[in-house]
Amino acid sequence: MWGGRFDAPPDPRVQRFTESISFDWRLLDADLRVADAHAAMLRARGLISAKDLAAIRRGVASIRRDGEARKLVFDESLEDIHTHVEHWLRERVGAAADKLHTARSRNDLVSTDLRLWMQDAATALLAELRALVRSLAKLAARNVDAIMPGYTHLQRAQPVTFAHVVLGYAEMLLRDRERIRDAAGRANRSPLGAGAIAGTTLPITRASTARALGFSGTLENSIDAVSDRDFVAEFVGALAILAVHLSRIGEDLVLWSTTEFGFVAMSDAVTTGSSLMPQKRNPDVAELVRGKAARVIGAHVALLTLQKGLPLAYNRDLQEDKEACFDAFDSTLASVECLQVVFESLTVRVDRMRDAARDPALLATDLAEALVLRGVPFRKAHETVGRAVRTAETGRSTRFAVPGLTASEVDVILDPARSVRRRHLATSIDRVRGLVARESEWRVGARSDKA
């Protein structure tokens, strides 16, 4: 946009460099909502006529219909979504369109649009996360008795239930829901009316447009209102943490589906074959979920780096926030949706898990705790059992001789199912059953998906 201040348009190379319509077209719905609310406020304050308001609203409705029908044509010479909306309005309603930009700037407008878009994006993602947690809860409920090795340092540690592991994923995702809702809540204040930097001399009412657009209030400092992008960085930061969680889940799925583990099998719907090796079933969805995390983390770093040296207030650098934000959201949402398909179609190989959990070394801690119950100090018990494990390994035996415990007592303790039942504060099957219900009914169902 060059306006009356300039005698000539920008160089075509500059025009291509500075345009944002190639990505900010996604703000169309938000921009139309702002146009409608702003025009209503201008009429209420006597700044435009009733006839102008009717024309603007008619034009906005027409643009919305054409947008929904995919009939709108974007032109990079019009630079951004705001200029496009004004252009389309002018084509439809004439001179009334020139009054819409009264008492507003693209600086406060783009921030308003992006905040509105974020509310919708957060709401959509919260709903998909809720569906993913429900899928996990159902998977846990179907396999509540399945016992597998738990791992630390990727080494077999102690027996756990598969359901307990799956609910661990659910806990991570429930925290992500809270973070996303929290970030969206902080973004839910309107900058509209802050103008380019210092507001306007015209008698507008910012609170009325904020209410009309569904904001919880207004941003009070006009300088901060147009230059703040904390809300973008915070939202994408929450997405980055979520993407890391999804990546960790993807990593487990990749490992568990290998021949070496064989704990799960992924369906044809989420795996692919090899162009060369006929036998292959590759866990591409899980691997791509793992890979998408790099993009989302990169977007968060880009947003922080973008802002670190900016003086107050608005600078054109901030145009770069949207591509990073949109890409991070798209990558995260797609990952959540596809993992839901993975878990809904996952085959759990209970026998392979049970066989791996029969490794007697997994019960070494149980042996030490049995000695503690006989009055042996834990450090002494730890040392005693450690020696017994080393002796068994050296002799290539699966039987442990533990001073202070009879052979029959050792055999009872080395039963993985009994071990799981004894852990009433963590992996006991009764406790896990209760947690399954808690995840699927209370913790997910009690809170709205509305950002």
Any idea which residues carry the catalytic annotation? 153, 274
Q: What is the DSSP string of 131-176?
A: HHHHHHHHHHHHTTT-EEEEEETTEEEEEEEHHHHHHHHHHHHHHH
Q: What count of other Cβ atoms lies within 10 Å of the Cβ of residue 212?
A: 17
* Residue 427 C-alpha from the chain's centroid: 28
Q: Which amino acid is at 430?
A: D
Query: What span, in angstroms and rounded, lies between the C-alpha atoms of 125 and 130?
Result: 8
Q: What are phi and psi of 345, to 5 degrees?
A: -115, 10
Instruction: Classify 348 in phi/psi space as left (phi over 0), alpha (psi -120 to 50) or beta.
Output: beta
- Supply 260's token pair: 């070496």
348 membership: H or E segment, kind and range:
strand 347-348
The 10 Å CB-count burial string (b at 16+, else e) for 11-44 is eeeeeeeebbbebbebbbebbbbbbbbbbbbbbe
Name the residue among 331, 300, 330 with its Cα closest to residue 229. 300
Give the rounded distance of the alpha carbon of 108 from its chain centre: 27
Q: Is the peptide bond before 426 cis (omega within 30 degrees of 0)?
A: no
| Residue 218, CA distances (Å) to 40, 101, 120, 197, 324 in order | 17, 19, 19, 15, 25
**Apex CA 359: angle with CA 342 and CA 398, to 5°?**
160
Question: What span, in angstroms and rounded, lies between the C-alpha atoms of 2 and 402?
Answer: 85
Distance CA 239, CA 251 (A): 18
Output the DSSP codes for 181-223. HHHHHHT-SB-TT-TTTT--SS---HHHHHHHTT-S-B-S-HH
Burial string for 399-431 (b: 16+ CB within 10 Å, else e) reads ebebeebeeeebeebbbbeebbeebeeebbbeb
